[in-house]
Amino acid sequence: MKTYTPPFTITEKILSYVSKISEYITKLEMIEPKSIAPTLRKANKIKTITGTLEIEGNTIGVEKITALIEGKKVLGLPREIAEVQGAIKVYDYIEKFDYKSLDDLLMAHKILMSDILVDAGRFRNKDVGVGSKDGVVHIAPPSTQVSKLMNDLFLWLKSSDIHPLIKSSVFHYEFEFIHPFIDGNGRVGRLWQSLILYNWKPIFIMIPVESVVRDAQERYYKALEDSGSIGESTPFIEFMLEAIMISCQNVLINDPLNVPIKRIDKIVELIKKTPKITIAQLALRCEVSEKSIKRDIAKLKEQGKLKRVGSLKSGYWEVIIKNDNKTVV
């Protein structure tokens, strides 16, 4: 029996985004996840939860979400607080989910919505439409078809060898099209795309894509509508890949808690040109303190990308390039 294949077209824009994101991920992987400060992991988790909930109209805000993550009590509407608590629980569990398991997706919905829906973790048993300020924009498939459609989608997810960046976006769109639950579909769709990306590259646990989607919320919904209008997920894939690319850029460039990748690249280039360059000279050229340069140098040495030959006074640096299991200095 032929398995279902979601319709989409690989465009030049999609290929460009995949290439650029892969480049950014390579740079981000220079920072081992275990070496990233816990404060950064927490900050990105807060951004992720705030982003995905604000898309759905939750008004709790980042300060109260931070307090709830820290176990503190806050004032707010009971439903909104329940939404935050559910999101905290499900994102705490994200690294344990199997993205190819439909049972795990149902479990995720139950964790996310158990304090809100009596049928959390179960597919809807009635027909629904998706509305906007302009009225109903999408009539979801009949409830009697949901189970089959979701099983078909997961069979494709397991068997497809398309690039994970594209696969995650296609899944996200198809999931929203099916709209398998009475409530919580947007949150679960975004969660599952993040999970697929995390299983491709664990560094995605540090990249709060949901916060960028929140900032482009109108375009997010328009991409869903445009895809629905043409009968394939291509516009939505393009939108999500752009959001992922921007998220990577934000982590690389704008996050003050992150290791400055551009500075590390500059240090490597300066050492290549002048192997006898001193810490003081590097600090001057990079416009940072000597302490910062020493920290960056230590990271490069730990990663096996730099070594010191001779003494600090009379020796020199060697940049180590690994290529096809060979080391070139």
Handedness of CA 18, 52, 175, 138 (dihedral sign): negative
Task: Give the rounded distance of the alpha carbon of 79 from its chain centre.
Answer: 26
Say whether 152 sits in a helix, a strand or coil.
helix
What letter would DSSP give residue 252? I
How would CATH label the architecture of 261-328? Orthogonal Bundle (1.10)
Q: Looking at domain 12-254, what is its CATH homologous superfamily?
A: Fido-like domain (1.10.3290.10)
Question: Contact, 116 vs 122, CB < 8 A?
Answer: no
| The pLDDT of residue 298 | 85
Contact 65, 50 (CB under 8 A): yes
8, 210, 269, 322 from 224: Cα distances, Å: 13, 15, 44, 43
With beta carbons less than 8 A apart as the criterion, state whether 158 and 171 touch.
Answer: no
Reduced 3-state DSSP string for 50-78: HHHHHHCCCCCCHHHHHHHHCCCCCCCCH
pLDDT score of 232: 97
For residue 316, list its beta bridge partners: 309
Separation of alpha carbons 125 and 147, rounded Å: 10
Whole-number pLDDT of residue 37: 55
Q: Would you say 159 and 152 are in contact if contact means Cβ atoms under 8 Å apart?
A: no
* Rounded distance between C-alpha atoms, residue 71 and residue 101, angstroms: 31
Q: What are the domain boundaries of the chain?
A: 12-254, 261-328
Can you tell me whether residue 138 is helix, strand or coil? strand
Angle, helices 279-286/290-302, rounded to nearest 10 degrees? 110
pLDDT of residue 324: 45
Q: What is the pLDDT of residue 327?
A: 41
Contact 196, 209 (CB under 8 A): no
Bridge partners of residue 132, in order along the sequence = 135
The tokens for 258 are: 């992150």
Q: What's the pLDDT at 75?
A: 92
Phi, psi of 136 (to 5 degrees): -75, 125
pTM of this structure = 0.76
Residue 304's pLDDT is 84
Phi, psi for 298 (deg, rounded to 5)? -60, -40
| pLDDT of amino acid 290 | 79
| Residues near 135 by beta carbon (within 8 Å), at least 6 away in sequence | none
Handedness of CA 232, 202, 27, 243 (dihedral sign): positive
Q: Can you tell me the distance from the alpha carbon of 29 to that of 25, in angstroms, rounded to the nearest whole number?
A: 6
Helix (H, G, I), strand (E, B) or coil at 80: helix
The rounded average pLDDT for each run of 10 residues, N- to C-terminus, in the chain (329 residues) is 87 96 88 57 86 93 91 93 95 94 98 95 91 72 96 97 98 97 96 97 91 91 94 97 91 55 80 87 76 84 86 85 49
Q: What per-residue confidence (pLDDT) applies to 283?
A: 78
